[in-house]
Amino acid sequence: MDIRAIHYFISVYEEASFTRAAERMHVVQSALSMQIRNLEDELGTQLFERNQRGLVPTVAGRRFYELAVPIAGSLSAAKQEIRDLAAGEVVSGPLRVGVTSSMCKNVLGKVLADFYTLYPAVDISVTEGYARNITELVQAGALDLGLGAMPVDNNSLSCELGFTDEFVLVSSQPINGPTFTPCDLSNMRDLVLVIPSERHLLGSTIQSYIGSGRVSVRKVIRIDGMVATLESIRHSNWGAICLMNSVADKISSGEYYIYPIAYPRVQFDLFLLHDLRTPPTLAARRFSGMFSRRLREIKTMWERVFPVLESPARNN
């Protein structure tokens, strides 16, 4: 079986179009179509069919995709490892990394400094964005490595749990007593709450909680951006929901009150992502390892500082 045919098949499957797949693979459409026909002849079954929705895989096509992606990934990984071996383990070349805004605090700067000291020949570029955006950029091939959200219905990404962060309520005023007092958002009916827009996973989650009554506040203000969010609550008694890691530097300053959210408990999983079709280079693997170690260090630090949450008494 020609490995090119497998790559062509994967492209057609993911693009749901011979035209787009041909553009992606930089071949003429007739050559790609012929490869798919030859593959179907070899397998003795039809892999795609056309209906009112357009080009869709058959049952055999869906199963073959599940089997083909790891095969293509393993072959690409083998080629990359041999290239690294031939290069004498020289860590160099371009590296495109995507990181969420919350992980820029306490994590990214330390890793970048250490990585550059060890591997100055790597030409690294960093993109900051929302978790969903980072995932989409990795899926599109615009990033080599990303710390983002779990992808939906995509088998082409490698996903490893990188960090589980806690959401906290932050205010410049003692709206829930002393700092680190667990709070119950279903009972804070006089609170003006700042959350991201529904483009952000947190925004859509909190909005659904408000609709179901799990969060009960006086008013919601939607603001995208960490700096704008903190500035909006600096001179008011408003509260904002933020990731713990994004406000970690505010703990010792006493500038803000930080309240763990006991109810509804909201956690945020971030995953280290890369495209299985393009195995990570040696530079990407080294960066990923350093990033993972730093995430573990941060997690250990929070376990020492962050109190164990116990849900406050609630009226049922």
CATH topology of domain 93-163+268-304: D-Maltodextrin-Binding Protein; domain 2 (3.40.190)
Kindly indicate whether the domain formed by 164-267 is annotated with CATH number 1.20.970.10. Answer: no
Residue 145 has pLDDT above 70, yes or no: yes
Of 280 and 146, the structure prediction assigns the larger pLDDT to 146
Residue 310 has pLDDT above 50, yes or no: no
Residue keyed to tokens 């909006």? 232
Residue 155, exposed/middle/buried by CB under 10 A (0-12, 13-18, 19+)?
A: middle
CA distance 225 to 130: 10
Asked whether the domain spanning 93-163+268-304 has the same topology as the one spanning 3-86, the reply is: no
Structure confidence by residue, pLDDT tens digits, 285-297: 889 888 988 888 8
What CATH class is the domain 3-86? mainly alpha
pLDDT at 311: 43
pLDDT at 87: 63
Structure tokens at 125: 């570029």
Helix (H, G, I), strand (E, B) or coil at 284: helix
Structure confidence by residue, pLDDT tens digits, 94-143: 999 999 887 887 788 889 999 988 888 899 999 988 888 898 899 888 99
Other beta carbons within 10 angstroms of residue 253's beta carbon come to 7
pLDDT band at 313 (very low <50, low <70, confident <90, very high): very low
Which stretches does DSSP call E strand in the chain?
Answer: 48-51, 54-57, 93-100, 122-129, 145-148, 157-171, 183-184, 192-195, 219-222, 239-243, 257-263, 267-275
> Contact 183/189 with Cβ under 8 angstroms?
no
Among the residue ranges 58-67, 82-91, 109-118, 274-283, the one predicted with the least confidence is: 82-91
Mean pLDDT of 215-230: 88
Domain range summary for the chain, segments of one domain joined by +: 3-86, 93-163+268-304, 164-267
